[in-house]
Amino acid sequence: MDLQDVKALYHRPLLDLIFEAAGLHREHHTHNEMQMCTLLSIKTGGCVEDCKYCSQSIHNNAELEKETLLKTDEVLEQARAAKEAGSTRFCMGAAWRDVKDGRGFDRVLDMVKGVSDMGMEACCTLGMLTEDQAVKLKEAGLTAYNHNLDTSEEYYDKVITTRTYQDRLDTIENVAKAGISLCCGGILGMGESTGDRIALLHRLSNLDPQPESVPINMLVPVEGTPLEDTEALDIFEWIRCIAVARILMPKAMVRLSAGRLTISREAQALAFMAGANAIFTGEKLLTTPNPEKDEDYNLLEVLGLKPRPPYKGEKQKAA
Ligand code: SAM
Ligand code: DTB
Ligand code: SF4
């Protein structure tokens, strides 16, 4: 769909959007299933990028305990615990600008292999990646790689100046060339305009192939970052974006990522109706808090949703 069409879609009445999104969700997915994923920060803080939202950038002043790259055993222990708690996808995040070949990367490859051998979907987000590195991750058993566009190309340099939009697109291309599923989305509520949100959704849906998973992050305004005082985005605008994402990318997993802690159960329920079908569980995302496990399971139960089994091997699950 071209930008003008996405714009027209975006401005349709909200309930019409939710209705259409819900229909497409039911057509392409088992609509009462929720994918539960767990995140682990395998290397925390000290990142040289200047992403203005991020607690882990050396350019910001967020209070944070820095950590060097975790040991493989520690990571696999956490993956096992996540599996026991019902997670089927385990995502490892590192505060790196890009991946450097060497011992650190070799250790990450061991982690990926270990998680994959446990029967979980293994996912990583490690910053920029070359094609060769992407191939190595694929061979180690990686299911998906997360690398976000974050916002529109126009708004991008208000948020990050140390790498370009094109750098991001290059990594995304390297991931696709290696045959790894792409997890690619953005952040809402960074002070961007409606037009920026439309442009982001347009860009995401025109990636070829489309992302297998689309994380929709709501800005977590971390103290000590330049975005700490950003005014919260209207929750219906967030739901509108989720519905548009579902309509534009009917086969993707639409993943409610950062920001759920401050979003009401009712708004989350509406987001699920609008096609969101994956959440991050566990009390922490990478560095910021997330709803308690019991709260999430309670919400699923109330809504009649059940955790979705892992789908390693097949790209898309039959509805
Ligand atoms: N360093 C790697 C990178 O930037 O690609 C991987 C980790 S990074 C934390 C992954 C994503 O988390 C970012 O692209 C951004 O979309 C999201 N994120 C980080 N901090 C956030 C915040 N405070 N609020 C919402 N989303 C955030
Ligand atoms: C994504 O888009 N959101 C997740 C995942 N990819 C790695 C990360 C959210 C991080 C939120 C801020 C934090 O906890 O530091
Ligand atoms: Fe570094 Fe990623 Fe945070 Fe940007 S979002 S500062 S690249 S950890």
**Residues paired with residue 182 on neighbouring β-strands, in sequence order:** 145
Give the pLDDT confidence of 220-272 residue by residue, as tens digits: 999 999 999 999 999 999 999 999 999 999 999 999 999 999 999 999 999 99
**Does 176 contact ligand 1 (Cβ within 6 A)?**
no
The superfamily CATH assigns to domain 3-299 is: Aldolase class I (3.20.20.70)
Indicate which residues carry an active-site annotation: 47, 51, 54, 91, 123, 183, 255
Q: What's the whole-number mean pLDDT along residues 194-217?
A: 97
- Domain extent listing, the chain: 3-299
Q: Which atom of ligand 1 is nearest to the CA of 288?
A: 23
Give the pLDDT confidence of 109-136 residue by residue, as tens digits: 999 999 999 999 999 999 999 999 999 9
* C-alpha of residue 220 to centroid of ligand 3, in Å: 14
* C-alpha of residue 297 to centroid of ligand 3, in Å: 30
CA distance 132 to 250: 30
Mean of the per-residue pLDDT values for the chain?
93
Give the pLDDT confidence of 14-51 residue by residue, as tens digits: 999 999 999 999 999 998 999 988 999 999 999 999 99
